[in-house]
Each structure stands twice: as structure tokens, then as C-alpha cells.
Amino acid sequence: MQLTNAARQLKQKKIPFTYHTYEVDETDVSAKHVAMTLNKPLDELYKTICLMNEKKQYAFFLISGERDIDLKAAAKAWGAKKASPVPMKELETLTGYIRGGVSPIGAKKSFPVYLHEAAQDRETITISAGKRGYQIELTPEDLLQFTNGHWFSQ
């Protein structure tokens, strides 16, 4: 099985995870579709959203698949005045990832990571492994420890 950069990094640090693969539907890369394909609850699948603040700094925010990001809450958690999604055309150049395959692990550059507090109630969460068709399931605590991440609420 081909390991993504994110999976290799976790394996190297001996962080336990489960690797999931699925058939990609290029017409639908939504969290809902991925959750259905993997037969996982939507609130267990966490999508990674890359945001930019007013100082042109970047961060990854992870929220469960059934939620939409609250930009004001994200900015507050980040200590920024405002936050906005990174434009799709800049995403790959900035992170090395494309929409539907963005992971907070193994990006081109290390950005702060914020995980929605709802993940505290989950034994594990499933996140992108950095490539469409690949997901990593791990504990929220391991994700935060590996990325030096923070909890946030909205």
C-alpha cells in the first residue's frame, strides 16, 4: 500500500493510526461523500480548512464534516482580527495539497493547527492523509500532540 507523506511522518514517530483508502469520485470530494464511501459517521470525519488572517499568516482548522467553519470564531481562537479561506488557486502552491486532500500533517510548510472541541468527545477522528482517496484515523490527542495543535470552539 502506498503511504502518503502524512502517513509516513506518523509512522516514523510511532503514532498509532489506521489507514483508509477509498475510490475517488472527482465530481464529489465533499466530506459527506467521503464519509459515505468509508461507511463512517459524518461527525467522525474531519475536514481540514486552510485559513489566512489579515497579516497573511496561515493556519489549518479542522472541523467535523457536518459543520461549516465559523470564520469569526476561528479568527478569535487564532488571535487574529479576521480569517478567510485560502483561495483554491493558491492552496496547492501554499500547502502542497489540493482540495479534498488537504492534511494538517506533512504540508509544504508547518502552520498552526486548530481542532474543533467537538473532537474531544470522539475516541478517534478521521482526517485526510494528504491525497484524495486516503484517510488517516487517529485519536484527537495524538493529532494535537503531533502538530502542537490547539482546541477551538465556535
Reported as type and span, the H/E element at residue 123 is none
pLDDT of 1 higher than 80: no
Judged against a pLDDT cut of 90, whether residue 154 lies above it is answered with no
| Predicted local distance difference test score (pLDDT) of residue 151 | 97
Kindly report, residue by residue over 90-133, the tens digit of the pLDDT. Answer: 999 999 999 999 999 999 999 999 999 999 999 999 999 999 99
Cell numbers for 40: 463512517
Number of domains in the chain: 1
pLDDT reading at 2 higher than 90 = no
Angstrom distance (rounded) from CA 55 to CA 64:
27
- Strand arrangement of the beta sheet that strand 46-53 belongs to: 83-85, 46-53, 58-64, 113-116, 150-152
Q: Give residue 40's pLDDT.
A: 94
- Distance, CA of 107 to chain centre: 11
Secondary structure E strands in the chain: 18-21, 46-53, 58-64, 83-85, 113-116, 125-131, 134-138, 150-152
Q: Which CATH number fits the domain that encloses residue 75?
A: 3.90.960.10
pLDDT band at 69 (very low <50, low <70, confident <90, very high): very high
Structure confidence by residue, pLDDT tens digits, 24-39 = 988 999 999 999 999 9
Give me the domain span that covers residue 47.
5-152
- Across the chain, mean pLDDT equals 95
CB 33 within 8 A of CB 84: no
